[in-house]
Amino acid sequence: MRRHVISFLLLLSALYSFKPVTAQELSGQPLSLAEAQEFAVKNNIAVKNARLDVLIQEAQNAQVTANAYPKVNAQGQFTDYIDPVKSFVPGSFFNQEGFVPVQFTPKYAATANITGSQVLFDGSVVVALQARETILELARQNGKLTEQNIRYNVQKAYHQLVIAHKQFDILKSTLASARDMAQQVYALRNAGFAEKIEVDRTDVQINNLATDSMRIANLLQVSENVLKYQMGMDIRRPIWLTDTSLDQHLMDASALVAEVAPYESRTQFSLLQTQLKLNNYNLKRYRFAGLPSLSAFGSMGYNYSTNSFSEIFKSQYIWSSYVGLQLNVPIFNGLLRTNQVREARLNIEKTKNNIENLKLSIDFQTETARTNLRNAVLQAESQKRNVALASGVLELARRKYEEGVGSSLEVSQAQTDFLQAQANYFSILQTMTNAEADLQNSLGQF
């Protein structure tokens, strides 16, 4: 009797330790796969930071543009020469012998002026202005790649949770059937028509099913938290999934096997293409560094000096102004620019090699994922048929037992075979889900 109580407690623990959220049970948020991905794109922290990186790059581009604008500065200065500098002059000027110290600098001085400058031509500034949009595009592509990675992770987590729900539903149904059968076995045992071994066998089966149910219940909770984490959602927020059709999923995966896509569909490929453009701009920048640079400058303002502080704001200030051009001609810098050009060319060759290597990597990833998905689809279809066969055998065994022409051992064996077929089916579905996400990622579909 004690074993019966333990079995019943295990059953209750399995059924109520985790209860999948449904629309009827809880006013949770319904989520399709597409909705989960869009939610993640808006709320995942990595994606938010990627969007901030784009804004940061825009601010940096504005800083580059500032180099082409005029620079204007205003300055005011007041100086109190506590001990004014004196110079020696021949004493003969004052009918004295030797040299006499004379103060030429007034005690107080004040100036106010405005200075300005404008770059007329500078090779590095010209190239920097040309490269602004390409650099911004690189930031956008990095943000897009981050979004794609989040969509990829959300899809895998979403399907894993769907499969875990299906497993839990099967175990709940099997547990309920096992309990019904146990009730019949206990009644037959009490009436003397069943042996003790049948009761023990039933108890073992219920205990095993209850243990598996608790394991899947824990997996459900973990899987749901993983999905919410990938989405950037509060893990306490209730949700329920709407894209739960395994048959439709299997059909979609089968259709995906035949799809192809050009290299340009991969954001990583576009990133390297953009990097190649930037390397070419870098080479151009070092080449232009050998050209002369020309800039204009000017200044205007007032200045005044006096030995009396009270007169400094009363007297007439002296006005001065000037304008000019400055031409800088690089002649020799120790072969620095020559080696910078050489380095830039080598970086271009390296990026080209990386592009070719990425093509090989994309081909390898795509074909590997395609092969894995094709095999997983075939195995899933086979395991689906096995589940149908095992379900038919279990139904027949139960019917024979209820009609008194079968044994509980036959039902237990059929039930074990059915659960094993289900486990195999769900396992290959998980493999298929991962292969499907990998192939979509290789084709640039996220």
In a domain, 260, yes or no: yes
Give the separation between CA 119 and CA 69, rounded to whole angstroms.
8
Please check whether residue 143 lies inside any domain of the structure: yes
pLDDT tens column, 299-343: 999 888 888 777 776 766 789 999 999 999 999 888 999 999 999
- Residue 302 falls inside a structural domain: no
- How many CB atoms lie under 10 A from the CB of residue 279? 19
Does residue 314 sit within a domain?
no
* pLDDT for residue 6: 43
Please tell me what DSSP assigns to residue 387: H
Count of structural domains within the chain? 1
Nearest to 398 by CA among 185, 172, 254: 185
Q: Are 212 and 15 spatial neighbours (Cβ–Cβ below 8 Å)?
A: no
Answer whether residue 306 is part of any domain. no
pLDDT at 169: 87
pTM for the complete prediction?
0.80
Q: Is residue 115 part of a domain?
A: no
Task: Please give the Cα distance from 11 to 273 (Å, whole number).
Answer: 59
Dist. CA 357–CA 269, nearest whole Å: 10
Tell me, yes or no, whether 80 lies in a domain: no
Cβ neighbours of residue 215 closer than 8 Å, sequence gap 6 or more: none
* Non-local CB neighbours of 271 within 8 Å, separated by 6+ positions: 138, 141, 142, 145
Q: Domain for residue 141, yes or no?
A: yes
Do 150 and 424 touch, CB atoms closer than 8 A? no
Rounded distance, CA 302 to CA 34, Å?
Answer: 69
Which residue type is seen at 433?
T
The whole-number pLDDT of residue 110 equals: 87
DSSP string covering 123-174, please? HHHHHHHHHHHHHHHHHHHHHHHHHHHHHHHHHHHHHHHHHHHHHHHHHHHH
Range of the domain at 413: 2-68+127-291+334-442
pLDDT at 206: 79
Please state the separation of Cα 34 from the chain's center in Å.
Answer: 17
Strand partners, 113: 75, 301
Dump pLDDT digits (tens) for 109-160.
889 999 999 999 999 899 999 999 999 999 999 999 999 999 999 999 999 9
At position 443, the amino acid (one-letter code) is L
The predicted structure's pLDDT at residue 365 = 94
pLDDT of residue 87: 85
Q: Give the three-state DSSP class for 95.
A: coil
Residues 6+ apart with CB under 8 A from 295: 117, 118, 119, 120, 122, 325, 326
SS (H, E, C) 197-221: HHHHHHHHHHHHHHHHHHHHHHHHH
Q: Are 95 and 238 in contact, with CB atoms under 8 Å apart?
A: no
205: CATH: 1.20.1600.10
Of 133, 135, 445, 362, give the one whose Cα is nearest residue 271.
Answer: 135
Contacts of 114 (CB under 8 A, 6+ apart): 72, 73, 74, 75, 299, 300, 301
Cβ atoms of residues 302 and 318 within 8 Å: yes
CA 330 and chain centroid, separation: 45
Alpha-carbon 233 to chain mean position: 15
Tokens of 400: 């024979």
DSSP for 302-367 reads EEEEES-GGGTTTSPPEEEEEEEEEEE----STTHHHHHHHHHHHHHHHHHHHHHHHHHHHHHHHH
Q: Which residues of the chain have pLDDT under 70?
A: 1-27, 184-185, 188-189, 191-195, 198, 200, 313, 315-316
Q: Which of 278, 241, 14, 20 is nearest to 133 (CA)?
A: 278
